[in-house]
Amino acid sequence: MEVNLTLLVGCAVMSGCGVYLLLERSLTRVLVGLVVLSNGVNLAFLAASGPAGDSPFWGSAEPEDMSDPLPQALVLTAIVITLGTIAFLLALAHRSWQLHGHDDVQDDVEDAAIRKLALDDATSDSFGLSTEGQEQDDPVEDRQ
């Protein structure tokens, strides 16, 4: 099986750029990253499917000369799923622009509070201590 090196390099570059853009806070950059990443993955599917052959219609060519239609069907399905995801992200970016005037993803308030509690617990003196003897101080047992 021959593999086209140009397709593989293009797939790697597009996937790397797509992942980099997905990690940004701006929904517009996330959207562009999703498009680039999905195109890179689709290119990987086509590169992995092997060289192009004759069309896979009955009687048009010998079966060993026909191209495999499964990767092409998977790429078509991925294109449709990506289109739906892009439409959803566009709606989120538009709504964020309407509400806040920008499309940056904000920090979650609850997540920040949990992170602060974890940081306070990690720096306290009781972090890492065992729970032995806690049963004696348990308020449920004190009521009984």
Q: How confident is the model at residue 131 (pLDDT cuts 50, 70, 90)?
A: low
Provide, rounded to the nearest whole percent, the portion of the chain with pLDDT above 90: 38
Whether the Cβ atoms of residue 43 and residue 51 lie closer than 8 Å to each other: no
pTM: 0.69
Query: Is CATH 1.10.260.40 the classification given to domain 5-55+67-120?
Result: no
- Give the three-class secondary structure for 66: strand
Residues contacting 128, CB < 8 A, separation 6+: none
Whether the Cβ atoms of residue 26 and residue 103 lie closer than 8 Å to each other: yes
| pLDDT > 70? residue 136 | no
Report the range of poorest mean pLDDT among 42-51, 71-80, 121-130: 121-130
Pure H helices in the chain:
5-22, 27-48, 69-100, 109-123, 139-143
pLDDT of residue 144: 52
What does pLDDT average to over the chain?
84
Provide, rounded to the nearest whole percent, the portion of the chain with pLDDT above 70: 85
Q: Which amino acid, one-letter code, is at 3?
A: V
